[in-house]
Amino acid sequence: MKHETAMQTIEWSDFDKVELRIGTIIEVEDFPEARKPAYKVKVDFGAEIGVKKSSAQITDLYDREKLIGTQVLSVVNFPSKQIGPIRSECLITGFYRDDGAVVLARPDFPVANGTKLG
pLDDT for 48-89, tens place per residue? 999 999 999 999 999 999 999 999 999 999 999 999 899 999
Which domains does the chain show, CATH number per domain?
17-104 (2.40.50.140)
Q: How far apart are CA 24 and CA 53, in angstroms?
A: 12
Distance CA(29)–CA(1), nearest Å, equals 25
Angle at 72 between CA 49 and CA 25, to 5 degrees: 70
pTM of the model: 0.91
> Residues 7-40: pLDDT tens digits?
899 999 999 999 999 999 999 999 999 999 999 9
